[in-house]
Amino acid sequence: MGSPLPSAQRETFKYDDSIVKKFLIATMIWGLVALLLGVFIASQLADWKLNFGISWLTFGRLRPLHTNAAIFAFAGNAIFAGIYHSSQRLLKTRMASDWMSKLHFWGWQLVILLAAITLPLGITQGKEYAELEWPIDLLITGVWVIFAVNFFRTLAIRRERHIYVAIWFYIATIVTVALLHIVNAIVIPVTLFQSYPVYAGVQDALVQWWYGHNAVAFFLTTPLLGLMYYYLPKAIKRPIYSYRLSIIHFWSLVFIYIWAGPHHLLYSALPEWAQVMGVVFSVMLLAPSWGGMINGLLTMRGAWDRVRRDPVLKFFLAAITFYGMSTFEGPLLSIRSINALAHYTDWIIGHVHGGVLGWNGFMIVAMAYYLVPRLWKTKLYSERLANIHFWTATLGIIMYLLSMWTSGITQGLMLRAVEGSRLMYPDFMETVIRLIPLYYVRAIGGSLYLLGYCLFLVNMIKTIRSAPKNIEDDVYTATPMGPFKHDFETENSHRFLEGSANIFIAYTVIAVLVGSVIEIVPTLDAHRYIKIPDSKKPYSPLELQGRDIYVREGCYNCHSQMIRPLKAEVMRYGPFSKPEDSVYDHPFQWGSKRTGPDLANLSGKYPDSWHYYHMKDPRLVTPKSIMPAYPWLYKNKTDMDSLSKKLRVMQQLGVPYTDEQVQNAVELAETQAKGIATTLETQGVPKVSDSKEIIALIAYLQTLKPLELP
Amino acid sequence: MPNQSLDDQHHDGIEELDNPLPKWWVYLFYATIIFAIGYGPYYWLGKGQTAVQVLANEQAKTQSSANGEATDLGKKLTAAAQNHEVLEAGQVIFTAKCAACHGPDGGGIIGPNLTDKFWIHGKGTANDIAHVVSEGVPDKGMLAWGKVLSPDDLVAVVTYVHSLADTSPDHPKAPEGTPIN
């Protein structure tokens, strides 16, 4: 404690640990919810009856809730806990504002609660991981701004001149997530519960996957790398392996990641140049990602005997290993020929779970095992239990990954198998039936992971219960930062950046903006180079209504609408999709997974009556189907009240509806509905009511057709 | 509790070594960058083909091979009628794909009775059945199964349907179409 400065200049302060505890407890609770939902919907794919015929329990509505809960509720709260805890210590200051921290906490829980209510009700924007409707999106923006302001003010009052690598990653997270969220969420509201995005088709797809991919990058990767750089050396009590590596992998990661979004759209109608960008930047991502893995693993080098004994270190080791695995698999899946096989299959589902269960989940519990005893000033209740947690969860992940790899490769190979001039497995159901056993294995793997997580919760509860009463916060003293002096002779230029947070932030913003601007701006005026032929008509009012039902039910969680220009695919579905096909699609519904067949060329494949029976219960016409039944579409009346408003909004977005169509929307819809009801009757369907939602949905499904271009 | 002074410690006590970057990692990074620089030009200017071009080439190839393997459906049908295994295979397919509409024993539900002497399409010969099953009647709710079933399966199920003539189903649907002879 021998400071050269007189103690009068030193300041006394305490850290705000209550906010960290709040976020930790929220993490534990929402983690359980996310995992329960995951196991539940995984079981639904094994046995479709498990939705009990209840609309808000069906796969299409719950899968978005599961992904949102895992990303934003579980990982989100954990990240905030870690950021609030480590930043205060790394910056030697309490957070700038306690009430802002609290507002951030309660605001975020409100967002999660609203998500948990709205998504099962089918209130959704229909874009993956960005499903929440516009009022919630606004709330998210507000909460994020509060978080950012609080964090940056804390940065400004720090008592440590040079910011540590963990803080770099937090900065990248905060600015980039703000950018991604705001750009992707621009919509025009129709009602309080519905909106249409300003982007359509190709544009919407690009913006959405720029967002979606970088949600993985800047919500599930950079903040967790920050946590790794703080908690790993703290837990293992060893120095970080290489400062130089930190610098290089941080900047290359931040710069390169933002470009890679189009790898979600390979072989799609996205312009070829953007696809190439997606491929090359994804391949280049390998080394920057592995830089983080190496820095973690080599920090652990020499302490393997402790890793073997200490469950916390085991979780760190496994997490970092899974990180390395996922970031190897990612570039691999971006290579075109591999992507052609794996895209739309369960391989991708396996890939993302390696990341979330392995890398994020394990990092988070490692952090909690480290943090909870320290915050509550007690000892971990049981190391043995933590060890059992580790092995159960690891076995769970392995079962999950193996089953999904097998399922993905099986499905990919079967769907592309061609014999002479015909498909070997023309019936899509044949492939589905093969996968069902694997869905059981996956559900068991997920349950094991969940079981391990419950052991973790027990351990945490017991630990917290054993805490002494009246925990007093420690008191610290430190000297204020003082004016900035940089010695250009002896210090490298990155030290300069670390000393000057504002310039650091500015550089980070530039790094993520370059790729974003170059990729997105050219497609913003895509309508200039996509010539819309006269034969392309906007959806009729009834069809639009049907489309909204399609979005509401989350059909895109199982069906794609994007036929790729691949031989087997064209043989199976028909002419490949073109940018023109979805010019009026706000939002686009290309989808990302084919649990069911592609629907882009569905029009005319089946008569209306087929859809009528199929939607009522798919097993009526496709034995053994695992698609949910939608009986409520036969009871709910099609909403006609908002129709004119919807068309008006679409008109504002540039869809060529005439004013007449907008005014007569309801009449037009009713006439078309009557027509469909009559057709159904002539096809032998008894007692059809033309006012029901199923009629609108059939109208929409029968429009799905790629344009015939000369 | 005494106040702890933090002046002497940085980054909360975390130290950083400054080890050199692992060589293999640096080379890996270079390799991916070289790949990236090469890939775009190769793709746009060189030999790389877009997915659409590749597809067009493949389609041209299959077109020519398909012309060679014209199958004689009629012959196959005649041969199949004598073959017990084909009939059994046909029954399996019928139960899986057709029974939902035509009833487990062909008596008809949504689709017409396939056992009676009344036919909407054709006169109930194997060839007639093959035609309607293959082409379907999309407007009426009957699929074009030719796109879904393999040629062998099509022959099998048609043979089976043909064999149902004059059987007596449990709940025969009222006749539809015109009576034959």
Among residues A484, A500, A515, the one where a domain terminates is: A484
Adjacent-strand bridge partners of A281: none
DSSP bridge partners of B5: A477
Q: Is the pLDDT of residue A285 over 50?
A: yes
How many domains does chain A contain in total? 2
* Mean pLDDT (whole number) for B141-161: 85
pLDDT at B68 over 50: no
Q: Give the span between the Cα atoms of A150 and A138, in whole angstroms.
A: 18
Nearest by CB to residue A426, choosing from B1, B4, B148, is: B148
CB–CB contact B39 A276 (8 Å): yes
Residues 6+ apart with CB under 8 A from B116: B172, B175
Helix (H) or strand (E) holding A579: none
For A332-381, how does the pLDDT look when each residue is reduced to its tens digit (9 = 90+)?
999 999 999 999 999 999 999 999 999 999 999 999 999 999 999 999 99
Q: Distances from the Cα of A604 to the Cαs of A231, A682, B138, in angstroms?
A: 58, 16, 7
Q: Is the pLDDT of residue B140 over 50?
A: yes
Please give the structure tokens belonging to residue A450: 């969940």
pLDDT at B2: 62
Q: Which two tokens stand for residue A537?
A: 């008509």
Q: Which of B9, B25, B155 is most worth mutating to test chain A (most A CB atoms within 10 A of its CB)?
A: B25
> Looking at this protein, which amino acid is placed at residue B105?
D
Q: Is residue A131 part of a domain?
A: no
Distance from CA of A490 to the nearest CA of B (A): 15
Three-state DSSP class for A40? Answer: helix
Q: Do B55 and A287 touch (CB under 8 A)?
A: no
- For residue A229, which residues of chain B lie inside 8 Å, CB to CB? 14
Q: What 3-state class would DSSP assign to A704?
A: coil
- Angle formed at CA A361 by CA A357 and CA A366, multiple of 5 degrees: 140
Segment A593-604 mean pLDDT: 94
CA distance B1 to chain A (A): 8
Inter-chain contact B6–A239, Cβ cutoff 8 Å? no
Question: Mean pLDDT lowest for which of A229-243, A313-327, A680-694?
Answer: A680-694
Domain co-membership, A471 together with A602: no
How much is the average pLDDT of A194-210? 94
Which residues does chain B have within 8 Å of residue A605's beta carbon, measured at their own beta carbons? 138
Q: What is the CA radius of gyration of chain B?
A: 33
pLDDT at res. B31: 96
Query: How far away is chain B from the Cα of A433, in angstroms, using its nearest Cα?
Result: 13
Measured between CB atoms, which of A89, A290, A477 is closest to B12?
A89
Closest chain B residue by Cα to residue A336: B51
SS3 content of chain B, % helix, strand, coil (to 5): 55, 5, 40
Residue A127 lies in a domain: no
So what's the pLDDT on residue B78? 77
Nearest-by-CA chain A residue for B39: A280
Say which residue, B26 or B54, is predicted with more confidence.
B26
* Same domain (yes/no): A553, A650: yes
A446 min Cα distance to partner chain B (Å) = 32
Q: Which residue among B11, B21, B28 places its CB closest to the CB of A90?
A: B11
Stretch 64-103 of chain B: residues touching chain A, C-beta under 8 Å: 65-66, 69, 96-97, 100-101
Instruction: Find chain A residues with C-beta within 8 A of B98's C-beta.
Output: none
**Nearest chain B residue (CA) to A245:** B21
Is A334 within the bounds of a domain? Answer: yes
Residue A470 lies inside a defined structural domain of this protein: yes
What does DSSP assign to residue A581? G
Give me the pLDDT at residue A190, please.
96
Contacts of A448 (CB under 8 A, 6+ apart): A392, A393, A395, A396, A399
Question: Which domain-ending residue is among A442, A462, A484?
Answer: A484
Chain B residues within 8 A of A298 when measuring between CB atoms: 19
Report residue A533's pLDDT band, with 50, 70 and 90 as the boundaries.
confident
Q: Are residues A696 and A551 in the same domain?
A: yes
Mutate to test the interface with B, among A86, A93, A284, A573 (most CBs of B within 10 A): A284
User: Is A341:A412 a contact under the CB 8 Å cutoff?
Assistant: yes
Is A644 in the B-facing interface, judged by CB distances under 8 Å?
A: no
User: Using CA atoms, how far apart are residues A174 and A236, in angstroms rounded to an integer?
Assistant: 28
- For position A709, what pLDDT does the model report? 63
Residues of A in contact with B28 (CB under 8 A): 286-287, 290
Average pLDDT for residues B91-105, to the nearest whole number?
88
Tell me which residues of chain A, numbers 90 to 149, contact chain B at a CB-CB cutoff of 8 Å: 90, 92
pLDDT at B9: 86
Q: Is B143 in the A-facing interface, judged by CB distances under 8 Å?
A: yes
pLDDT (0 to 100) of residue A571: 86
How much of chain A, in percent, has pLDDT values that exceed 90?
85
The whole-number pLDDT of residue B150 equals 78
Instruction: Name every residue whose Cβ is closer than 8 Å to that of residue A345 and which is 6 or more positions away in sequence.
Output: A407, A408, A409, A411, A412, A593, A594
Q: What span, in angstroms and rounded, lies between the C-alpha atoms of A229 and A239?
A: 10
Collapsing DSSP to helix, strand or coil, A24 comes out as: helix
Compute and round to an integer the Cα radius of gyration of chain A. Answer: 27
Give yes or no for residue A145 having a pLDDT over 60: yes
CB-based contact B17 A286, cutoff 8 Å: no
Clarify whether residues A545 and A469 are in a common domain: no
Rounded to the nearest 5 degrees, what angle is found at the Cα of A582, between the Cα atoms of A578 and A669?
140
Q: Is the pLDDT assigned to residue A124 strictly greater than 90?
A: yes
Q: Which CATH number goes with the domain that contains A419?
A: 1.20.210.10
> CB–CB of A554/A61 below 8 Å?
yes
User: Are residues A416 and A568 in contact, defined by beta-carbon separation less than 8 angstroms?
Assistant: yes
Residue A309 sits in the same domain as residue A438:
yes
Model confidence band, residue A490 (pLDDT cutoffs 50, 70, 90) = confident
Can you list the alpha helix ranges (DSSP code H) found in chain B?
A: 23-44, 51-68, 73-81, 84-93, 99-102, 126-135, 151-163
Q: A572 or B67: whose pLDDT is higher?
A: A572
A14 Cα to chain B: minimum distance (Å): 10
pLDDT recorded at residue A527: 65
* Mean pLDDT of the A246-264 span: 95
Cα distance from B167 to chain A (closest Cα, Å)?
24
Instruction: Calculate how close chain A gets to B56, using CA atoms only, in Å.
Output: 9
Size of interface A-B (CB pairs under 8 A): 175
* pLDDT score at A412: 96
Token digits of residue B46: 């060189």
Give the DSSP letter of residue A335: S
Enclosing domain of residue A639: 541-701
Q: Can you give A534-565 as a three-state secondary structure string?
A: CCCCCCCHHHHHHHHHHHHCCHHHCCCCCCCC
Looking at residues A267-290, what average pLDDT do you find? Answer: 93
pTM of the model: 0.88
Token code pair at residue A647: 């068309």
Q: Are strands A476-478 and B118-119 parallel, antiparallel or unpaired?
A: unpaired
Count Cα atoms within 13 angstroms, Cβ side, for B72: 5
Kindly report the nearest CA distance between residue A141 and chain B, in angstroms: 31
Smallest Cβ–Cβ distance between A477 and the set B3, B62, B101 belongs to: B3
A193 to chain B, any CB pair closer than 8 A? The answer is no
Q: What integer pLDDT is reported at residue A172 of this predicted model?
A: 97
The predicted structure's pLDDT at residue A7: 53
Residues 6+ apart with CB under 8 A from B94: B102, B106, B157, B160, B161
Q: What is the ipTM for the molecules in this complex?
A: 0.89
Our CA-based measurement puts residue B24 at a distance from the nearest CA of chain A, in whole angstroms, of 10
Q: Do B139 and A240 touch (CB under 8 A)?
A: no
- pLDDT value of position A459: 97
Given this model, what pLDDT does residue A1 score? 41
Q: Do B101 and A248 touch (CB under 8 A)?
A: no
Mean pLDDT in residue range B142-149: 81
Residue A690's domain is classified under what CATH number? 1.10.760.10
Of the partner residues B5, B25, B55, the one whose CB lies closest to the CB of residue A291: B25
Q: Which residue of A has its CA nearest to B19?
A: A242
- Using CB atoms, which residue from B7, B40, B140 is nearest to A280? B40
Mean pLDDT over all residues of chain A? 94
- Confidence at A427, pLDDT banded by 50, 70, 90: confident
More confident residue, A91 or A271: A91
Contacts of A159 in chain B (CB under 8 A): 6
3-state SS assignment for residue A637 = strand
Please report, for residues A32, A167, A555, A601, the alpha-carbon distance to residue A479 in angstroms, rounded to integers and kept in the order given: 42, 20, 59, 69
User: In chain B, where are the structural domains located?
Assistant: 19-56, 72-179
Asked whether the predicted pLDDT for residue A170 surpasses 60, the reply is yes
Q: For residue B29, give how far its alpha carbon lies from the nearest alpha carbon of chain A (Å).
A: 5
pLDDT bucket at A646, cuts 50 / 70 / 90: very high
From chain A residues 399-458, the ones with a CB under 8 A of any chain B CB are 420-422, 424, 426-427
Is A248 a domain residue?
A: no
pLDDT of residue A5: 53
The confidence score (pLDDT) of residue B70 equals: 41
Identify whether residues A447 and A566 lie together within a single domain: no
Mean pLDDT, to the nearest integer, of A625-651?
A: 95
What is the CATH code for B72-179? 1.10.760.10
Residue A204's contacts (CB-CB under 8 Å, 6 or more residues apart) are A127, A197, A585, A586, A587, A588
* Residue B146 CA neighbour count, 13 Å, CB half: 12
Q: CB B14 to CB A164 under 8 A?
A: yes
pLDDT value of position A373: 96
Q: What local confidence, expressed as pLDDT, does residue B50 receive? A: 79
pLDDT single digits (tens) A382-402: 999 999 999 999 999 999 999
Q: What residues of chain A, 317 to 336, have a C-beta less than 8 Å from chain B?
A: 331, 336
- The whole-angstrom separation of Cα A550 and Cα A596 is 14
Q: Return the higher-pLDDT residue of B148 and A102.
A: A102
